[in-house]
């Protein structure tokens, strides 16, 4: 009886195990395939690292402003051509696009990097420090990769090298977008206008930005991530008079001062910032020629940041109303202009973000993939995300042993990106591309 019972119990277990094994085989094979590809990416990224570092230092030492990235574009095009990619130059004036077609058919994924530097004189003491100077808005200025785009270009070139070496195992196409003029918030729009998201059209797009966060970390956020940005230009016109006879004119400096203070009540008193934050900043005031002359006009320039298109329109209306009514009450006039170099909210596709999180955790380590808060700086990567599901994330470059809260931020003349993050960036972009293509093609 005992032996019979035992056989009756064991047989169903064997049957269940056989059924489960048969059902799990595709998943096990997929896991094995992913592991093999991940190991190859890591190996190729390590081999490419010396060149990635060299590219980064070369580009850092020779920064170029928006739409002037001629040398950088040539370096990029030469490297992509050497890798055997289809290369298109002159996109959006100085942009470069490389297309890597895998040996097997499949979807298209795009990877993007900005190329331009900033009109900032570098104060970091490096062997490859920038000494470039140029004319900008009628002034001679230094030029520096103070936002880390040298890292972005080098990382994407390294990614291209890694993936070109895996061409025979790629079930699909990777499009590499080297974009000009991110800093002037105009490069992405022009590239899109000139067909960067066509022929072939990507089904997903990924990008990164170096950030003063712990070294090698990846910070992400699903949904709204980086703020919409609008310019702010206000011209207040009064009536010029002697500084000792203010009643003889209309003082635009006093009016402008009232406007600056009143604008701060918009985010602090008029908006529900528990729903979404907003910022109105006046960063420049220009007016007058002498201390004893009340000038005819004053110019205010600033920036507006919001996270919701409805709030964005509402804030603009409130700014316009506030400015015009204050000016009118003083007998002055004022004109408000929000400019054209603006960016929408950068919104990470929620489903795609959830899909790629395992990839990011595998690359950086589970404890180094961090949930980010809302970020007030803007990114014209948002224009791609309006047309294609995309994920944008931050790559931590604060040196080990330093508090990220105290290191110089992006756009500072002291901004410094630790090269220890470069291999993480290469592995992240390469892995995102491979995992997306592989998971999007069942059975591959």
Note if 116 is an active site residue. yes
20: pLDDT strictly greater than 90: no
What kind of fold does domain 30-226+345-439 have according to CATH?
Answer: Aminopeptidase (3.40.630)
Note if 183 is an active site residue. no
Q: How far is CA 373 from CA 22, 34, 179, 227, 378, in A?
A: 44, 31, 26, 11, 14
Q: Which of 182, 230, 251, 379 is labelled catalytic?
A: 182
Interatomic CA distance for residues 70 and 64, integer angstroms: 8
Note the pLDDT tens digit of each residue in 179-205. Answer: 999 999 999 999 999 999 999 999 999
Q: Report phi then psi at 22, rounded to 5.
A: -60, -40
Q: Is the peptide bond before 200 cis (omega within 30 degrees of 0)?
A: yes
E strands, 265-380, where? Answer: 279-286, 293-294, 297-306, 333-337, 346-348, 369-371
Note the pLDDT tens digit of each residue in 353-385. Answer: 999 999 999 999 999 999 999 999 999 999 999
Q: How far is CA 195 from CA 10, 200, 345, in A?
A: 63, 9, 22
- Other C-beta atoms closer than 10 Å to the C-beta of 209 total 25
SS3 state of residue 197: coil
What architecture is domain 228-337?
Answer: 2-Layer Sandwich (3.30)
For CATH 3.40.630.10, the residue range(s) in the chain are 30-226+345-439
Cβ atoms of 323 and 259 within 8 Å: the answer is: yes
> 């003063």: which residue's tokens?
212
Average pLDDT, stretch 67-78? Answer: 99
5: pLDDT strictly greater than 50: no
381's tokens: 């990567």
Q: Which of 42, 64, 69, 116 is labelled catalytic?
A: 116
210's tokens: 């170096």
Note the pLDDT tens digit of each residue in 80-110. Answer: 999 999 999 999 999 999 999 999 999 999 9
User: What pLDDT is recorded for position 7?
Assistant: 46
Strand order across the beta sheet in which 204-214 lies: 86-91, 95-101, 171-179, 104-114, 204-214, 390-398, 218-220, 369-371
108's tokens: 């298209």
Residue 247 CB partners (closer than 8 Å, separation 6+): none
For CATH 3.30.70.360, the residue range(s) in the chain are 228-337
Secondary structure letter of residue 124 according to DSSP: S
Average pLDDT, stretch 49-56? Answer: 99
E strands, 349-423, where? Answer: 369-371, 390-398
Number of helices followed by number of strands (H, E) in the chain: 10, 18
Note the pLDDT tens digit of each residue in 264-315. Answer: 999 999 999 999 999 999 999 999 999 999 999 999 999 999 999 999 999 9
SS3 state of residue 332: coil
Least confident span in 121-125, 152-156, 339-343: 339-343
- Band of pLDDT at residue 27, cut at 50, 70 and 90: low
Interatomic CA distance for residues 281 and 304, integer angstroms: 6
Cβ atoms of 116 and 69 within 8 Å: the answer is: yes
- Band of pLDDT at residue 341, cut at 50, 70 and 90: confident
């Amino acid at each position: 009886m005992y032996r019979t019972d035992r056989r009756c119990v064991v047989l169903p277990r064997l049957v269940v195990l056989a059924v489960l094994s048969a059902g799990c085989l595709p998943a096990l094979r997929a896991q094995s395939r992913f592991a093999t590809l991940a190991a190859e990416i890591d190996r190729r990224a390590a081999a490419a690292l010396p060149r990635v570092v060299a590219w980064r230092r070369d580009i850092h030492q020779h920064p170029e402003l928006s739409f002037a990235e001629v040398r950088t574009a040539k370096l990029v095009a030469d490297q992509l051509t050497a890798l055997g990619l289809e290369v298109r130059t002159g996109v959006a004036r100085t942009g470069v696009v490389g297309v890597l077609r895998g040996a097997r058919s499949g979807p298209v994924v795009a990877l993007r990097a900005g190329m331009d530097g900033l009109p900032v004189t570098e104060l970091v003491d490096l062997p490859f420090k920038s000494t470039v100077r140029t004319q900008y808005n009628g002034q001679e200025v230094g030029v520096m990769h103070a936002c880390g785009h040298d890292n972005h270009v080098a990382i994407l070139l390294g990614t291209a090298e890694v993936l070109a070496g895996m061409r025979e195992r790629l079930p699909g196409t990777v499009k590499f977008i080297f974009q000009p003029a991110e800093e002037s918030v105009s490069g992405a729009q022009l590239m899109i206008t000139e067909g960067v998201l066509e022929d072939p059209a990507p089904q997903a797009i990924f990008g990164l930005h170096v950030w003063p966060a712990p070294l090698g970390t990846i910070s992400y956020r699903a949904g709204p991530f980086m703020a919409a940005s609008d310019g702010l230009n206000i011209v207040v016109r009064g009536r010029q008079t002697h500084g000792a006879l203010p009643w003889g004119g209309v003082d635009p400096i006093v009016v402008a001062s009232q406007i600056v203070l009143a604008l701060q009540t918009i985010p602090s008193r008029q908006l529900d910032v528990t729903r979404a934050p907003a910022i109105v900043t006046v960063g420049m005031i220009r007016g007058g020629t002498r201390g004893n002359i009340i000038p005819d006009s004053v110019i205010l320039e600033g920036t507006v940041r919001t996270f919701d298109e409805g709030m964005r329109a509402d804030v603009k209306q409130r700014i316009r109303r506030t400015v015009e009514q204050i000016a009118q009450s003083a007998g002055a006039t004022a004109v408000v202009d929000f400019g054209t170099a603006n960016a929408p909210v950068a919104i990470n596709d929620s489903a795609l973000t959830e899909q790629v999180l395992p990839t990011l955790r595998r690359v950086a380590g589970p404890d180094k993939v961090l949930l980010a808060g809302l970020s007030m700086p803007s990114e014209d990567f948002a224009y791609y995300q309006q047309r294609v599901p995309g994920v944008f994330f931050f790559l931590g470059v604060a040196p080990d042993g330093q508090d990220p809260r105290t290191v110089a931020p992006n756009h500072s003349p002291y901004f410094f990106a630790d090269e220890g993050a470069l291999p993480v960036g290469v592995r992240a972009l390469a892995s995102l591309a491979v995992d997306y293509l592989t998971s999007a093609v069942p059975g591959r």
